[in-house]
Amino acid sequence: MEEVQSPCMKICHRDSNDVCFGCRRTGEEVGNWIRYTNEERKAVIEKTYHRTNVAGEMPPGNFLR
């Protein structure tokens, strides 16, 4: 079985709720990614589809325009 790859987008800045502006994972999910099974990784990715960043917050340098 092929390993589920990280959804990292190399933005790597989180909002005040600890959600990354790029991949929408939490800091905990980013830190534990290497330890997750493929099924856990798929579950994390599914959660990211339903997450948004805190309204009005932007990463340093305004990566998202």
- Reported as a single tens digit per residue, the pLDDT across 4-61 is 999 999 988 999 999 999 999 999 999 999 999 999 999 999 999 999 999 999 888 7
Would you say residue 3 lies in a domain? yes
Would you say residue 14 lies in a domain? yes
Would you say residue 42 lies in a domain? yes
Domain count, the chain: 1
Q: Which residues of 30-47 are buried (b: 16+ CB within 10 A; e: fewer)?
A: beebeeeeeeebeebbee
Would you say residue 65 lies in a domain? no
pLDDT at 60: 81
Would you say residue 32 lies in a domain? yes
pLDDT at 53: 94
Question: Domain limits at 41?
Answer: 1-53
Would you say residue 40 lies in a domain? yes
- Dist CA 64 CA 56 (whole Å): 12
Would you say residue 38 lies in a domain? yes
Would you say residue 64 lies in a domain? no
